[in-house]
A and B are shown apart, each in its own frame.
Chain A
């Protein structure tokens, strides 16, 4: 009986509650540590003064009014995709296909603008492209959702594959519609007639996108927080068995939520083509489907929190563009820094969710008794 039990040095338990204050302190701390690590790596690899690099990143994001507007536009687009993905994640449906769903919307919008320009009134064209973009996005999300609901097909892998199908479809149509012929790309669509282009509001080119993002984010916040649908999908996410027991049709909730995701992603695709870029490329989505996953997850699927996590990622990518021109660095340097910051923030979640207990020394324990 006297035999001493071996106690592990570290013992980990799940935290029951953590105050908002310490939660944010841990998160901010992780970002600060990440920035220090990034600074060290910057100095080692490029022999530049890291503070000059950070200053230039700040300059690249907030330097001029034009830069702030493009930052806002980038943030809005990314935010809408993240917000679209959030309800599915809350349901533990890992939709990695936000990019593909956006591309479906892009393709539908471009198809309408190219084939119908000049044949129908402009207002009608905008309306038709809007509806078809939403339908295309919804369809792209519906297919994996249906298979998940019906046969429990692995949605992570399915939606991932759907991205490339969409990208290749876009690549196919780019060659079909290429202009000028043989260039392998679509120039600005309807550059003279501006048919199907969204009107510019208040003289600011990106104001419309920003307003849309605000509306979508607020809508999703209310949808998740205060509606029956939002409640149902959080029950499904917590436990499918509980959901079945209380009479929620799990398959229906999955399909319905994913259609909502697809609608928003299709909407983003519509905004990208008709509102900002007025062209279609295979990279127009720019990896935002994946970035959106991280933004949504970092904010714990809270639409308002996503504004902050989205801002962090957009700031990094805008800043990376600036340092690449200012210091003659490769643009990919920003991806390295973003990756490092993400590692730290992802790692910090552990300290929010779990508590570490170190082994107390036995002498102290004996004194306590």
Chain B
């Protein structure tokens, strides 16, 4: 039976990694950097957090949930910051091609995640059969205390871990900063027309470095959320799948607006698991078609915004282009 009350929470849990990935990528793209390394960044963020909490869980005698939360989040941000710095250094300082750098980062990041995910047990010599971070995951899933008592409303709106609300807050804050603050205005100027922004006295490289690094850290947290919350702390190789690319698709679908991305990520999350809820009987083939929907929807949006050609709906004008002041 299809039940909205069980479907919506699962769709939302599914959507948060996409949302964080999307917000991170939006920040990147607003500064004019098409970062195709986001899937890799999310892998690195996830595995860095996993390594951090794995070490803590195995070394601490009595597990303190607060420290158990801080360590993986810190490790995750550190890992994704490293990836962000690699991308910045290559594309901003060395002016390398963003697409190629991004794809190389994805190769590296996915390999990094799968390698350490697969061999962390062997490398640390711990006597556990798999990476299952149950204690950390339990701390991660701390929900509001009264959610269970609030009936259907509680289940649909309040039953999530605190990270879910943090993710939505991050999206709203990013939207506010981009749209309503001077920093956001200048950042958008960098992404639209760096030469003009440069002439106006904006430090292009600093804006690019900050927006790319912060964006990568947000995306990395998305990867961590997937492992510690959605997957209940169990790391398995390639389980993250193509969610990184889906996050990039979501950026287009949300037309570069993080606040829209909140709803749309839930839609994508729903589409991703819809096949589990629609009675298809023995026809397993149809579920593969459902999985295609997010991409088809994205393509339609992409074509539609290019046909309508309204300026505020376009990708940042300098998206994908390196900036060299002396290039004219």
Could you list which residues of chain A lie within 8 angstroms of chain B, going by C-beta atoms? 12-14, 45-46, 94, 96, 147, 151-154, 156-158, 160-162, 164-165, 168-169, 171-173, 175-176, 184, 287, 290-291, 293-294, 297-298, 329-330, 332-336, 338-340, 342-343, 346-347, 349-350, 353-354
Minimum C-beta distance from B321 to chain A (A): 10
Minimum C-beta distance from A166 to chain B (A): 9
Say whether B298 faces chain A, with CB atoms less than 8 Å apart. Answer: yes
B245 & A160 in contact (Cβ 8 Å cutoff): yes
Contact of A161 among B101, B112, B302 (CB under 8 A): B302
Using A338-B107, A339-B105 as known contacts, say yes or no to A156 and B99 having CB atoms under 8 A apart. Answer: yes
B288 & A336 in contact (Cβ 8 Å cutoff): no
Assembly CA distance A149 to B154 (angstroms):
50
As a 0/1 sequence over residues 49 to 83 of chain B, the CB contacts with chain A under 8 angstroms (1 = contact) are 00000000000000000000000000000000000
Using A335-B107, A336-B108 as known contacts, say yes or no to A346 and B307 having CB atoms under 8 A apart. Answer: no
The 9 A-B pairs of least Cβ separation, nearest first, read: A335-B111, A339-B108, A332-B114, A350-B94, A342-B104, A330-B118, A168-B292, A175-B285, A153-B306
A157 & B115 in contact (Cβ 8 Å cutoff): no
As a 0/1 sequence over residues 247 to 291 of chain B, the CB contacts with chain A under 8 angstroms (1 = contact) are 011001000000000000000000000000000000011101101
Say whether B296 faces chain A, with CB atoms less than 8 Å apart. Answer: yes
Residues of A within 8 A of B162 (CB): none
Contact of B100 among A287, A297, A334, A350 (CB under 8 A): A297
A340 & B99 in contact (Cβ 8 Å cutoff): no
Minimum C-beta distance from B286 to chain A (A): 8
Assembly CA distance A46 to B113 (angstroms):
15
Assembly CA distance A335 to B44 (angstroms):
13
Minimal Cβ-Cβ distance residue in B for A143: B299
Residues of B within 8 A of A347 (CB): 89-90, 94, 96
B108 & A172 in contact (Cβ 8 Å cutoff): no
Minimum C-beta distance from A135 to chain B (A): 20
Minimum C-beta distance from B317 to chain A (A): 11
Tell me the B287-320 residues at the A interface (CB within 8 Å).
288-289, 291-292, 295-296, 298-299, 302-303, 306-307, 309, 315, 319-320
Could you list which residues of chain B lie within 8 angstroms of chain A, going by C-beta atoms? 34, 36, 86, 89-90, 94-97, 99-101, 103-115, 118-119, 123, 237, 242, 245, 248-249, 252, 284-286, 288-289, 291-292, 295-296, 298-299, 302-303, 306-307, 309, 315, 319-320, 324, 326-327
Assembly CA distance A290 to B244 (angstroms):
15
A290 & B106 in contact (Cβ 8 Å cutoff): yes
A342 & B108 in contact (Cβ 8 Å cutoff): yes
Contact of A156 among B34, B242, B292 (CB under 8 A): B34
Minimum C-beta distance from B85 to chain A (A): 11
Residues of A within 8 A of B286 (CB): 172
Assembly CA distance A298 to B103 (angstroms):
13
Assembly CA distance A45 to B47 (angstroms):
15
Assembly CA distance A144 to B68 (angstroms):
47
B111 & A151 in contact (Cβ 8 Å cutoff): no
Contact of A342 among B99, B107, B252, B299 (CB under 8 A): B107
B115 & A335 in contact (Cβ 8 Å cutoff): yes
Minimum C-beta distance from B159 to chain A (A): 31
Using A147-B306, A294-B104, A342-B107 as known contacts, say yes or no to A162 and B299 having CB atoms under 8 A apart. Answer: yes
A151 & B119 in contact (Cβ 8 Å cutoff): no
Assembly CA distance A207 to B119 (angstroms):
38
Minimum C-beta distance from A71 to chain B (A): 19
B100 & A294 in contact (Cβ 8 Å cutoff): yes
B118 & A332 in contact (Cβ 8 Å cutoff): yes
B111 & A333 in contact (Cβ 8 Å cutoff): yes
Contact of B112 among A13, A14, A151, A336 (CB under 8 A): A336
Instruction: From B103, B114, B252, B284, name the one whose CB has the most chain A CB atoms within 10 angstroms.
Output: B103
Assembly CA distance A354 to B86 (angstroms):
19
Assembly CA distance A301 to B97 (angstroms):
13
Minimum C-beta distance from B105 to chain A (A): 7
Residues of A within 8 A of B327 (CB): 14
Minimum C-beta distance from B204 to chain A (A): 14
Using A151-B307, A335-B108 as known contacts, say yes or no to A171 and B96 having CB atoms under 8 A apart. Answer: no
Minimal Cβ-Cβ distance residue in A for B119: A330
Residues of B within 8 A of A354 (CB): 95
Instruction: From B86, B105, B295, B320, name the one whose CB has the most chain A CB atoms within 10 angstroms.
Output: B295
Residues of A within 8 A of B288 (CB): 168-169, 171-172, 175
Contact of B99 among A175, A287, A293 (CB under 8 A): A293
Contact of B111 among A160, A176, A336, A349 (CB under 8 A): A336
Using A153-B302, A336-B108 as known contacts, say yes or no to A168 and B309 having CB atoms under 8 A apart. Answer: no
Contact of A349 among B96, B105, B119 (CB under 8 A): B96
A selection of 11 A-B contacts at a CB cut-off of 8 Å is A45-B123, A46-B123, A96-B36, A154-B315, A157-B315, A165-B295, A332-B114, A335-B111, A335-B112, A343-B101, A349-B94
Given A332-B115, A335-B108, A339-B111, 9 new contacts (CB under 8 A): A151-B306, A151-B309, A154-B315, A160-B249, A161-B299, A164-B242, A293-B103, A335-B107, A349-B96
Minimum C-beta distance from A306 to chain B (A): 14
Residues of A within 8 A of B303 (CB): 147, 151, 153, 158
Residues of B within 8 A of A287 (CB): 107
B108 & A340 in contact (Cβ 8 Å cutoff): yes
Residues of A within 8 A of B118 (CB): 330, 332
Using A158-B299, A335-B111 as known contacts, say yes or no to A96 and B306 having CB atoms under 8 A apart. Answer: no
Residues of B within 8 A of A336 (CB): 108, 111-112, 115
Minimum C-beta distance from A76 to chain B (A): 21
Residues of B within 8 A of A46 (CB): 123
A154 & B285 in contact (Cβ 8 Å cutoff): no
Instruction: From B108, B111, B242, name the one whose CB has the most chain A CB atoms within 10 angstroms.
Output: B111
B307 & A339 in contact (Cβ 8 Å cutoff): no
Minimum C-beta distance from B44 to chain A (A): 11
Minimal Cβ-Cβ distance residue in B for A328: B122
Residues of A within 8 A of B107 (CB): 287, 290-291, 335, 338-339, 342
B326 & A165 in contact (Cβ 8 Å cutoff): no
Using A172-B285, A297-B100, A347-B90 as known contacts, say yes or no to A165 and B95 having CB atoms under 8 A apart. Answer: no
Assembly CA distance A176 to B112 (angstroms):
35
